[in-house]
Chain A
């Protein structure tokens, strides 16, 4: 395949066409913050964390869903982008009830890490403090909607990789929630195979296994990526 030239953060690169800006950046160790992206499942460009500036285009583009084109000039770390990354991160925290100190994921949470990276030390937006359910009905796993950031990685991994499609989304706006089957308890699901993939795909402490103590959870989203790759290779 013919390579095409692009300029990212003033670095000249020769890259494969048909790749997303995110893929290219990751290959060249240029950091892009992401949340809804998980390598191996479809990108939906919903969290808006991976925004980059592309010369000639006024609006910011999501790196995970935008393909590189020849001579594209991309900036990934301008003040404008940093500003939005921080706003987005603060909104994640303001939308639900995140109390890291008592979370199973404390120390191994993509949201917490994002907070550190974007330098969030206070939240400038009013917390919504929504009433959220904690579904403990599954024999092995817990779904705590207080900690969900609606990245829908669980929905996609369950549908695309496991093929079970237990999860989906209900409602709109601030009322959106992840649901199992007909918004029925997870433990009563007729579709879930209890494979645990959603747990590993989930970037926060929203989905966790019962057999774990607070702050001890280590998730392995890379396992999903590997699984997808292995499945492609399988003869």
Chain B
């Protein structure tokens, strides 16, 4: 379907690099509704799951009915609507972040909380996930704790930040 009515979405987010990444992908796909799946892939890659606000943004940008977007998301097992755990720590493992030590962060998280990517603590308090590039390469290595994107992080800071937010240790 050719979309000639598409207008850039006004409330395009200025701050969250992950939303910028999605916005860029949508633009690259020329606001075509048929590119929905590709765009959802990008979004899930950046967020680790698909928050409703992000789906709302995508639906608006592609001029698709919300229910259509939701239907697509729930049809494929690959997509997930929920982050695992009450709190999440998403470690970017895109190229830039990988080079700048994403693996060391993951190792430390595993050592500290006994969590591998995709796992949650028994009490469901904390989940660790990995994301492909979240669009903040300049700030590599990047980690997202809950909705807070943190750049140029070091391992100790991350642990401290998680403790502050979750009171886990």
Give the interface of A toward B (CB within 8 A): 159, 164-172, 179-184, 190-191
Return the contact of A191 from the options B52, B66, B74 (Cβ within 8 A): B66
Which of chain B's residues have a CB closer than 8 A to the CB of A181?
A: 65-67, 70
Q: Across the interface, do A165 and B75 meet the contact criterion of CB distance under 8 Å?
A: no
Binding site for A on B (CB under 8 A): 52, 55-56, 65-71, 74-75
Contact between chains at A170 and B74 (CB < 8 Å): yes
Contact indicator B67/A165 (Cβ below 8 Å): yes
Across the interface, name the chain B residue whose C-beta is closest to A172: B75
* Chain A residue at smallest Cβ distance from B75: A172
- Which residues in B have their C-beta under 8 angstroms from that of A179? 67, 70-71
Enumerate 21 A-B pairs (CB-CB under 8 Å) in ascending A order. Answer: A159-B65, A164-B65, A165-B67, A166-B65, A166-B67, A168-B65, A168-B68, A168-B70, A168-B71, A169-B71, A170-B74, A180-B67, A181-B65, A181-B66, A182-B52, A182-B66, A182-B67, A182-B69, A182-B70, A184-B66, A191-B65
Question: How far is B67's CA from A180's CA once the two chains are assembled, in angstroms?
Answer: 6
Q: Which residues of chain A come closer than 8 Å to B67, judged between CB atoms?
A: 165-168, 179-182, 191
A193 to B75, CA, bound (A): 26
CA A105 – CA B105 in complex, angstroms? 60
Please name all residues of chain B whose beta carbon is closer than 8 Å to the beta carbon of A183 when the two chains form the complex: 70
Between A159, A172, A181, A191, the greatest number of chain B beta carbons within 10 A of the residue's beta carbon is seen for A181
Q: How far is the CA of A169 from the CA of B66 in the complex (A)?
A: 11
Min CB gap B37→A, angstroms = 15
A79 to chain B, nearest CB (A): 37
Interface centre among B55, B65, B69 (most CB of A within 10 A): B65
When the two chains form their complex, are residues B68 and A165 in contact, meaning their CB atoms are under 8 A apart? yes
B60 to chain A, nearest CB (A): 10
- Distance of B77 from chain A, by nearest CB (Å): 9
Q: Report how far A152 CA is from B23 CA in the complex, Å.
A: 32
